[in-house]
Structure 1
Amino acid sequence: MTTRRKFLTSAGAGALAAPLATPALAQSTITWRMQTYAGAALAEHVIKPAVDMFNKIAGDRMQIELFFADQLVPTGELFRAMQRGTIDAVQSDDDSMASPTEVTVFGGYFPFASRYSLDVPVLFNQYGLNEIWDEEYSKVGVKHISAGAWDPCHFATKDPIHSLEDLKGKRVFTFPTAGRFLTQFGVVPVTLPWEDIEVAVQTGELDGIAWSGITEDYTVGWADVTNYFLTNNISGAWAGSFFANMDRWNELPEDLQTLFRVCCDQSHYYRQWWYWGGEASLRVNGTKMQLTTIPDAEWQQVEDAALVFWDEIAAESPTKAKVVEIFKKYNADMAKAGRPYRYT
């Protein structure tokens, strides 16, 4: 693994980390460096189209250089690098980039906070999460620009999972908060650089991955090294955001701020249909992983444990309690609304 990391740093950085190609720029062109949580293959979908669009429209006025996972700094240092101005903008979840805010724990996969990808933008835009995130990040010199949904969280494993017992002792790459939750079921969370995951599964350092849905498993190569996909998930959608250094954001003219927001929204829209359609299509037509399922009655233990976990998080601070109350209110509303919002 050390050799692979050294190779990625020395040999790979020049090829993989190359920023988006841009024409010769005027001296007055504003340039930003943006790093995403995603590796090169995944970034082709979750961020590069939006950055390409921004650069094409902004032209000589502004250009964004895009870097992939861990290429400028490790993902866990993204927040600090952005806060210092080493990086101008970031696409990540709060949890992975270790942001020092009261809402960090809710980024990525907060257990069962959402059932479907549309839940995330509704929570932010109609239930008040945008205002809470804006306040929290403004305190630490970072602009929270826009939140959106990604894929649901499933296990991709080398050995089949048919029961909760099968999860015990499994060394799994996952997000910090998801890992904290899953330990009660015997899962052993492992933290590694994103680019090392495929090799770690091949060498036996990892037994599986709980970092994505099946679309990413196929896109980034994890479906080539795992044999089984568990259809039960611990969250309906990953919650991630676009962020910027506050000073850099405030220096932008209003129209460029607006353009950046529009391109972020385009990115959120692209992911809505890319993941939603991809998850279904690959379950039906995919050939690389066999589907397994834990029976609903047994999986209910996990869903019940999530509500206990919510209350534990809420007890940690007033802000966390406010977010948890929003989750409870939202999910209660969806249950009352019935089909198609909730089926159970």
Structure 2
Amino acid sequence: MTTRRKFLTTGALAGAASLAAPAVVRAQAPIKWRMQTYAGAALGEHVIKPAIEAFNTIANGQMEIELYYADQLVPTAELFQAMQSGTIDCVQSDDDSMASPTDVTVFGGYFPLALRYSLDVPALFTKYGLKAIWEEEYAKVGVKHISAGSWDPCNFSTKKPINSLKDLEGLRIFTFPTAGRFLTQFGVVPVTLPWEDVEVALQTGELDGLAWSGITEVYTVGWANVTDYFLTNNISGAWIGHFFANMDRWNEVPPHLQKMLETCFEQSHYYRQHWYWAGEADLRINGGKLKLTTIPDAEWATVQDAAVKFWDEIAAESPVKAKVVEIIKKYNETMVQAGPPYRY
């Protein structure tokens, strides 16, 4: 039987033990990442900021991402190098803009005429095997490829009207490296500038226009205020962009937070799909600032034929590039054979 004396003695000893060796509870410091996007602040409000705010909220103090916009920490062309070295932990960009030293770099951004619609991108990555290729190529250089997604098409927004291919000759155009390489055969002069300098360059005449985005972005970032015409023909139906991380930093993150990052980034891809898709149609009709022009289909077919030749040139550069081009060709052949609504 437990007597009152034994109870008090036991309780006193237990209390003394508790006082002698108190439990120490320490809150673990949150994991902190610095992330830079290729997008400027105005565009970033839509294409990345909501995803980062959502992640920081859901992470509930376990992890926090500090977001930086285009060129705030390093120039966009140095994003890959900064991420690889650990100066930046995470990046949102296409491969082309950040000068990625991989065999898949030319396919990021706008690979000419390879894509018709935004859904082509996730279909190619998840169903046709591009995801595995990207993961392998980036792992070779110490970078984690987290996910790929589609953005807007690539149209021309210019100060002069474009009604034929001849009108492209001599135009100084802000565009992506691979897109610029392709467009030179039509007389375009590709120009590279910091993203935030583009609007001023259009005002001063340093640029004649841009082939950087669809009409949604042109209005969102203010370029519709300094250009006059929008060409409805596009050199790609969707931009391929990605989320990347320094591999060592990625491996330091617990699995549940890795999954949370992947989920928030996938939600970000989804948001951009419907935001751009709706905006591209609405602003053509209701934008009010840009006049629409079109190169006739028969003449634009010249560009489409040139794109296929360009694919073959790229494929000849390496086995990895050849493999990606083969997948792109197979995918497009399937879409054409399937007919509307996949291809018209």
Per-residue deviation at 1:32? 0.3
Compute the TM-score of the two structures, normalised by the length of structure 1: 0.92
Looking at structure 1, the residues matched to 28 and 254 of structure 2 have their Cα atoms a distance apart, in angstroms, of: 17
Partner in structure 2 of residue 7 of structure 1: none
Q: Secondary structure at the match of 1:269?
A: helix
Looking at structure 2, the residues matched to 224 and 209 of structure 1 have their Cα atoms a distance apart, in angstroms, of: 13
Per-residue deviation at 1:281? 0.3
Partner in structure 1 of residue 13 of structure 2: none
Per-residue deviation at 1:59? 1.8
Partner in structure 2 of residue 6 of structure 1: none
Partner in structure 2 of residue 308 of structure 1: 309
Looking at structure 1, the residues matched to 253 and 101 of structure 2 have their Cα atoms a distance apart, in angstroms, of: 25
Q: Which moved more, 1:332-341 or 1:134-143?
A: 332-341
Per-residue deviation at 1:124? 0.4
Per-residue deviation at 1:113? 1.1
Partner in structure 2 of residue 240 of structure 1: 241
Per-residue deviation at 1:107? 0.3
Partner in structure 1 of residue 9 of structure 2: none
Partner in structure 2 of residue 290 of structure 1: 291
Per-residue deviation at 1:27? 5.6
Looking at structure 2, the residues matched to 194 and 59 of structure 1 have their Cα atoms a distance apart, in angstroms, of: 33
Partner in structure 2 of residue 184 of structure 1: 185
The one-letter code matched in structure 2 to 1:299 is W
Partner in structure 1 of residue 171 of structure 2: 170
Q: Deviations over 1:182-228 (max 9, x none)?
A: 00000000000000000000000000000000000000000000000
Looking at structure 1, the residues matched to 126 and 114 of structure 2 have their Cα atoms a distance apart, in angstroms, of: 15
Per-residue deviation at 1:152? 0.1
Looking at structure 1, the residues matched to 163 and 263 of structure 2 have their Cα atoms a distance apart, in angstroms, of: 43
Matches within 5 A, 1:1-344: 28-343=29-344
Per-residue deviation at 1:339? 1.1
Structure 1 gap ranges (5+): 1-25
Q: Deviations over 1:259-302 (max 9, x none)?
A: 00000000000001000000000011110100000000001000
The one-letter code matched in structure 2 to 1:292 is T
Over 2 Å off, 4+ runs: none
- Between the two proteins, what is the percent identity of the paired residues? 77
Per-residue deviation at 1:28? 1.0
The one-letter code matched in structure 1 to 2:234 is N
The one-letter code matched in structure 1 to 2:111 is F
Looking at structure 2, the residues matched to 80 and 264 of structure 1 have their Cα atoms a distance apart, in angstroms, of: 22
Q: Secondary structure at the match of 1:192?
A: coil
Q: Deviations over 1:103-125 (max 9, x none)?
A: 00000000011000000000000
Looking at structure 2, the residues matched to 59 and 71 of structure 1 have their Cα atoms a distance apart, in angstroms, of: 26
Looking at structure 1, the residues matched to 333 and 103 of structure 2 have their Cα atoms a distance apart, in angstroms, of: 24
Q: Secondary structure at the match of 1:304?
A: helix
Looking at structure 1, the residues matched to 124 and 28 of structure 2 have their Cα atoms a distance apart, in angstroms, of: 42
Q: Secondary structure at the match of 2:147?
A: strand
Q: Secondary structure at the match of 2:60?
A: helix
Q: Secondary structure at the match of 2:181?
A: helix
Looking at structure 2, the residues matched to 29 and 285 of structure 1 have their Cα atoms a distance apart, in angstroms, of: 46
Looking at structure 1, the residues matched to 67 and 217 of structure 2 have their Cα atoms a distance apart, in angstroms, of: 20
The one-letter code matched in structure 1 to 2:113 is F
Looking at structure 2, the residues matched to 199 and 323 of structure 1 have their Cα atoms a distance apart, in angstroms, of: 37
- RMSD in angstroms over aligned alpha carbons? 0.6
Looking at structure 2, the residues matched to 122 and 147 of structure 1 have their Cα atoms a distance apart, in angstroms, of: 11
Q: Deviations over 1:149-208 (max 9, x none)?
A: 000000000010000000000000000000000000000000000000000000000000
Compute the TM-score of the two structures, normalised by the length of structure 2: 0.92
Looking at structure 1, the residues matched to 42 and 266 of structure 2 have their Cα atoms a distance apart, in angstroms, of: 21
Partner in structure 1 of residue 16 of structure 2: none
Q: Secondary structure at the match of 1:299?
A: helix
Partner in structure 2 of residue 23 of structure 1: none
Looking at structure 1, the residues matched to 42 and 196 of structure 2 have their Cα atoms a distance apart, in angstroms, of: 11
